[in-house]
Amino acid sequence: MRYDLNLLPTFIALMEERNVTRAAERLGMTQPALSNALNRLRVMLRDPLFIRERYGMQPTEKAQELAPVIAAALATLDDIVLGQQDFDPAQANRLFTIAPNSYVEYVLMPAVVTRLREQAPGIKLRLTPFGTDLAETGVVSGSTAMVIGRITDPPDNLVVQHIMDDGLACVVRADHPTIGDSLSREQYEALKHVNMLPPGRLRAGLFQALEKQALKREVAVSVTHFLAVPELVAVTDYCSTLPRLICRQLARDKRLKVMPAPADLGTFPVEMAWHVRYRHDPAHRWLRGLVADVAREISAG
C-alpha cells in the first residue's frame, strides 16, 4: 500500500487540537481541505480515528496507539532534514511559539525581543502561557519551540537546560512609616503581605523557603500577576516578597523601595526545555542560544 506522508502532520495536529478549525489554522489550511485530508487518513489507516463529541473530537483507541509512533517518525525526519539546513538570523522570516511562565515573561522576554530586533528583525514570537501542565503548552508534541520556567518531571522527549538562578527580596512603599533601609524578622512578621500567586512550582518554592526559615507571614491579599504588586504596595503599608530580578525592576519606581529579605530564602532555578526533534535544527539552536545568553547577562547584572 502506498502511504501519503503529507497526511501525517494533519493527524498530529488533530490529535493535539481535537478541533478541525484550530488544526486547519495551525497548518495554514482551509477547513474543507483539512476535512478532506482527514477522510483520506481514515481510508489510509482504516479507522475513524476521531469521533465528534459535544466538546470536540475524541481520538479512537487506534489513533491513540498510532500517535506516539507517528510523532516519533516525524521528529526523526525533522531532525535529519532540518539539521542539514543553514540559518541566517539576519535574513530569516519565521514565527516561533514560546511558553514562558509569568516570571520569565516579565523578566526575560523584553530583553529577548530587543536582541531579536537587533540581530534577527524578521523573527516573530508568539507567547503562550506556561502554568503547571507542560503538555498544554505544546512543547511535548513539538508545536511550541520551547518552554521557559521551572520544569519538573519532564517526559523523555524533552531536553532541559538550566539557564539561570534567581533569589528573593522584599519591596515596600518608599515612605513606609515603620521600615527604614533594612527589614528585620520581627518587622517582616509584623507586616501584612501582598502574596503573588503565579502558577506552578515558583509559588510552592516561596512557601517552602519561608517554612524552612520559620518565617511567618500574614497575607492580606493575593494576586495573580506581578504587575498588580507594585500598585498595591505603593498605596498600603504592605510588604511583598518577590524574585530578586523583579525587585530590581521595581526599584526604578520612586514610590517603592527594595531591600533584602530578613532571612536567607535561597534561590530557584530557571530552565528551558524543548522537544528532541529540535536538537539539531539550526534556527531553534540559534534562538535557544540567544535566550540563554540573555538570561546569563540579566542574572549577572
The pLDDT of residue 231 is 96
CA distances from 174 to 229, 241, 269, 297 (A): 14, 15, 30, 28
Of the candidates 195, 168, 191, 189, which has an alpha carbon nearest to the alpha carbon of residue 178? 191
The pLDDT of residue 198 is 66
Are 30 and 78 contained in the same domain? yes
In a domain, 88, yes or no: no
- Stretches where the chain sits below pLDDT 70 are 1-2, 79-85, 198-204
Are 121 and 35 contained in the same domain? no
φ and ψ of 101, to 5 deg: -75, 175
The pLDDT of residue 80 is 66
Are 207 and 242 contained in the same domain? yes
CA distances from 250 to 106, 195, 216 (A): 11, 16, 24
The pLDDT of residue 104 is 94
In a domain, 89, yes or no: no
Are 39 and 186 contained in the same domain? no
Are 125 and 209 contained in the same domain? no
Q: β-strand 239-243 against 168-173: which pairing, if any?
A: antiparallel
The pLDDT of residue 56 is 78
CA–CA distance, 217 with 211 (Å, rounded to integer): 10
Q: Taking a C-beta distance cutoff of 8 angstroms, is the pair 143, 126 a contact?
A: no
The pLDDT of residue 159 is 93
The number of distinct structural domains making up the chain is: 3
Are 249 and 295 contained in the same domain? no
In this predicted model, what pLDDT tens digit does every residue of 35-53 receive, in sequence order? Answer: 999 999 999 999 999 998 8
Are 222 and 294 contained in the same domain? no
Are 148 and 281 contained in the same domain? yes
Grid coordinates in use for 212?
A: 524552612
Are 282 and 254 contained in the same domain? no
The pLDDT of residue 79 is 65
pTM above 0.85, yes or no: no
Are 53 and 181 contained in the same domain? no
The conformation of residue 217, written as its DSSP 8-state character, comes to -
Domain that holds residue 12: 5-82
Are 182 and 235 contained in the same domain? yes
In a domain, 188, yes or no: yes
CA–CA distance, 102 with 202 (Å, rounded to integer): 10
